[in-house]
Chains A and B, each alone.
Chain A
Amino acid sequence: MNRYTLEKIAFAFLKASAMLVILPTFFIVFFIVIRGARGLTLEFLLSFPSKGMQSGGIFPAIVGTLYLIAGTILFSVPLGVLAAIYLAEYAKPGPLIRLIRLSIVNLAGVPSIVYGLFGFGIFVLMLKFGASILSGSLTLAILVLPLLIVATEEALLAVPQTFREASLALGATKWQTTRFVVLPNAFSGIITGIILAMGRAAGETAPILFTVAAFYLPSLPRSIYDQAMALPYHLYIISTQVPNAPPRMQWGTALTLLIIVLGLNLAAAIIRYRFRRHIHW
């Protein structure tokens, strides 16, 4: 075979591969939007499930998901940002850094259900927080930690070295430089990472199975020691555990979850894009 013909065939094959990935992705989103849109009424979003999930809405699951996102961010951001500052600004190469980096890579690779087991064992049973928003948020916080650290570190490293040199030359200390020069310039990058972490926390199911998620609750959680309903768990429940759940409710729940998760990812992308456009260095 002529090598140019071969090239044509190979390129056509590669292009087809790309289509094979893009089209199903597009179809999934499209399918859920089309089928879910019918069920997505204000009443569906703002009412409690009723008749054993056969009718009603998903309000408590939405509220629970928002609580979990907030709790996750509250616990993970301080730790993640400080760790990233250490890695980007302070750490000197050596065995300790190697160990920290290996740990981050490993935290990122731990299966989500193992996080569920860990959270159950340590927060629910050992520390006796019970299945609660507190336990679930702490579990999710450790899960999103690697994502936060990596995103923040990248944002910090993107700040030009000359900024630091100028600040230090003016007599500022290392921390003053970090606090008043590096961090403000890395701000939008850090926010992007935080929003991505929120999206991740919103969509995870396995880690919340035994740490917080409730099948059904008659009222909204009142404290961080209460169980909560959550959208991903609710979607799992009404598609596997509830016989004859109306498809309209199933697709509506899937669409709501998708809107929150993809919406957060889109927000992160927009911030990143605008930031790149307005970059001055």
Chain B
Amino acid sequence: MAKRRRKLIEKIIERLLQLSGIATVIFVILIFGLLLGNGLPIFRYTSVGRFLFGREWFPLSGRFEIFPLIIGSLLVTAGAVVIAVPLGIAVAVYIAEIASPRVKELLKPAVETLAAIPSVVIGFIGLLVVAPAVKTLLHLPTGLTAFTGSLMLAFMSLPTIISISEDAITAVPMDYRAASLALGATRWQTISRVVVPSAKSGITAAVMLGIGRVIGETMAVLMVTGNAAVIPHSIFQPVRTMTATVAAEMGETVQYSPHYFALFAIGLVLFVIAFLINLIADLALHRKEIVR
């Protein structure tokens, strides 16, 4: 009797644990469903093509066309990627292959500290320190540009790129290095032609997750990119990203108005982009999971 009861309790507990696991799936579905439910109604007011490719974001006069915002996000992201990817991989290689254990013990906490600094603090520094410097050094009418955003975002995505790349590089078997060095290759030749190529898939995942971080970043871009919803001619002009638009305008819209639906539709676009990026990163890791 007691044994049967115990068995029943075990079953119930296992089910409870399983339900907790399944909750994560439910949350993803809920988020997607909510974005769909609140975002799709915008297409009663505009077409998918005009929403994505029209050039006029004037919510007050009923023009909901997010192409300038997409371009803004892409421009800031591209700038950040150009800076952060080579730099991040270089630092990862340095930490994994070259730095002495003591230097390593200094570098790793520094990278972790950078990862922990809230994005609003990075935005604050960008606004008060970096933007004025960009303005003066480059003789621009304003320091609040896509370029400033790229600088801050590059900085914010570095910890992701560094720590995941470093894991991938460290995971390359020692034998590979030994074989290369035994053939007379220098350490640099070994690193650049054997170790890094072997870690390629992990580094790809790191880069993808870094890009995901950059596209989804909100507060820093909201504070430093100048928030002009027009298509920029260069990276040294103000832009407005998709994330910043939602953050800046959601508070002031009327619930269930076209503007409200449009902002949720932007959220839907962001969700889909993030989903695809994560899927690619996940596949690159050969179905191994890395979450930070």
Contact = CB atoms under 8 A, between A and B. Distances in A.
Contacts, number: 262
A107 B87 CA distance: 27
21 contacts: A7-B186, A11-B98, A14-B93, A14-B94, A18-B90, A21-B87, A91-B18, A109-B216, A109-B277, A112-B119, A113-B216, A114-B31, A116-B250, A121-B37, A125-B255, A145-B27, A147-B292, A174-B14, A203-B118, A206-B218, A258-B121
B121 A254 contact: yes
Contact of A236 (B123, B162, B291): B123
A103 B212 contact: no
B141 interface: no
Nearest to B277: A109
Given A17-B87, A111-B243, 15 more contacts: A10-B188, A21-B91, A24-B155, A109-B275, A114-B216, A114-B270, A117-B246, A117-B263, A121-B264, A146-B291, A199-B116, A206-B119, A233-B120, A240-B127, A257-B120
B274 A110 contact: yes
Contacts of B38: 117, 121
Given A257-B121, A261-B118, A265-B116, A239 B223 contact: yes
Contact of B28 (A4, A85, A107): A107
A110 B31 contact: yes
Interface stretch (B5-13, B45-53, B228-236): B5-13
B34 interface: yes
B217 A111 contact: yes
Most chain A CB within 10 A, of B122, B127, B219, B290, is at: B219
Given A173-B10, A205-B118, A31 B125 contact: yes
Interface string A98-116: 1111111111111111111
A113 B113 contact: no
Interface stretch (B55-63, B64-72, B104-112, B168-176): B104-112
Interface in A76-113: 79, 82-83, 85-87, 89-91, 96, 98-113
B114 interface: yes
Contacts of B158: 21
Interface string A222-254: 000000000011011001100000010010001
B184 to A, nearest CB: 10
Contact of A145 (B24, B127, B218, B219): B24
Contact of B121 (A15, A22, A32, A175): A32
A140 interface: no
A241 B217 CA distance: 20
Given A24-B155, A83-B23, A109-B212, A147 B13 contact: no
A99 B287 CA distance: 11
Contacts of B91: 14, 17-18, 21
Nearest 4 A/B pairs, CB to CB: A111-B216, A203-B118, A82-B20, A17-B90
Main secondary structure on chain B at its contact with chain A? helix
B120 A232 contact: yes
A132 to B, nearest CB: 15
Interface residues of A, number: 88
A4 B189 CA distance: 10
A63 to B, nearest CB: 18
A7 B218 contact: no
Given A18-B99, A110-B31, A265 B113 contact: yes
A21 B114 contact: yes
A262 interface: yes
A175 to B, nearest CB: 5
Contacts of A99: 25
Given A14-B98, A18-B94, A109 B209 contact: yes
Nearest to A264: B116
Given A79-B23, A102-B282, A236 B34 contact: no
B181 interface: no
A149 B24 CA distance: 10
A180 interface: no
